[in-house]
A = this chain, B = another copy of it.
Amino acid sequence: MEQFLRAAAIFQSLSQTDLMPIANASKKTTHPANTPLFAERDPATHFFLVISGSVRLYRLTPDGKEKVIEIIRAGETFAESVALLDKPYPVYANTIDSTEMIRIPAAAIRNLMAQNTGLSLKMLASLSLRVHKFINDIHTLSMSSAQQKVAGYFLAFISDDKTEQRIELPSKKSIVASRLGLQPETFSRVLGKMKERGVIYEDGPEIVVLQPEKLRELRDSA
C-alpha cells in the first residue's frame, strides 16, 4: 500500500513512517467499468488514487448529457483539493475501465496534518516539485511543437531531392512567426537551435537548409 501511495505527487516526499498511518486509514478497492464513485454535491469524504484503469470526472448538461471535465489515469489522484477542504464534490466520477484504486479518508489526513506539521510541509514540498516539473514539461512541449511547426514550414518550400537548398522567406520574420502562431522570440529561439545543430544557416535574408532530412526528423519527432 505504501508503495502505491508514494506514486501520488502529494505523497512523494513522505517517508515509510509518514505513510504508514495514511496507508492504515486507506482502503484498496477494485471496480468494474462504468461504476459510479460519487455524484456532484455529495460530501467529499474521500479522495482517490488510481492504481490501474482510469476514471472520468464529468458534469451533466441541462439535457442530461455528460460533459467530461477530466480523465484520471494510473498514478494520479483526484478530488484531493475538495476533500482536504471538506467541500462537496463538484463533479460526478465513474470508472472508465475496470479500475483499481485507493480510497483515502480526508478526515484522517486532516487529523494527521493537525498533529504533524512536518507532514503538511512534506506534502506541500512534493506538490511544489510536481508543479515545477510540469512547468518544465510544458515549456519543453511548447518548444518542441514550435520546432515542428518551423520545420514543417521550411519543408513546404523545398523539394525533396537536393541536399542543400535556399529559402527566401516571403515576408519579415515577425510575420512568418505570427503566421505560424509563434511569439517572435520563440521563432528566433527555434532558428537559433536549428543553426546550433547545423541544420540551417542564415545568409542575409535567406535561410539555407543544409540538412533537409534533419528538418523532416524535427517535424515528425515526438
A interface residues, Cβ below 8 angstroms from B: 9-10, 13, 70-71, 76-78, 80-82, 84-85, 110, 113-114, 117, 120-132, 134-139, 141-142, 144-145, 148-149, 152-153, 179-182, 219-222
Which of B78, B125, B149 meets A81, CB within 8 Å? B125
The 6 closest A-B pairs by CB, nearest first: A134-B134, A181-B222, A127-B127, A120-B120, A81-B125, A81-B128
Which of B71, B77, B80, B220 meets A181, CB within 8 Å? B220
- Say yes or no: B84 contacts A124, CB within 8 Å: yes
- Say yes or no: A80 contacts B128, CB within 8 Å: yes
**Distance of A206 Cα from B147 Cα, bound (Å):** 29
Q: A138-B134, A144-B145 given as contacts; is B128 within 8 A of A124 (CB)?
A: no
Determine how close the nearest CB of chain B comes to the CB of A38; give it in whole angstroms: 16
**Distance of A76 Cα from B76 Cα, bound (Å):** 23
- Say yes or no: A9 contacts B124, CB within 8 Å: no
Query: Given A80-B128, A141-B145, list of 8 further CB < 8 A pairs?
Result: A13-B81, A81-B128, A127-B130, A127-B131, A131-B134, A144-B145, A152-B152, A179-B220
Q: Which residue of B lies closest to A148 (CB)?
A: B148
Which of B114, B123, B124, B220 meets A117, CB within 8 Å? B114
Which of B84, B132, B141, B142 meets A125, CB within 8 Å? B84
Determine how close the nearest CB of chain B comes to the CB of A105; give it in whole angstroms: 15
Residues in chain B near residue A9, CB distance under 8 A = 131
Q: Which residue of B lies closest to A9 (CB)?
A: B131
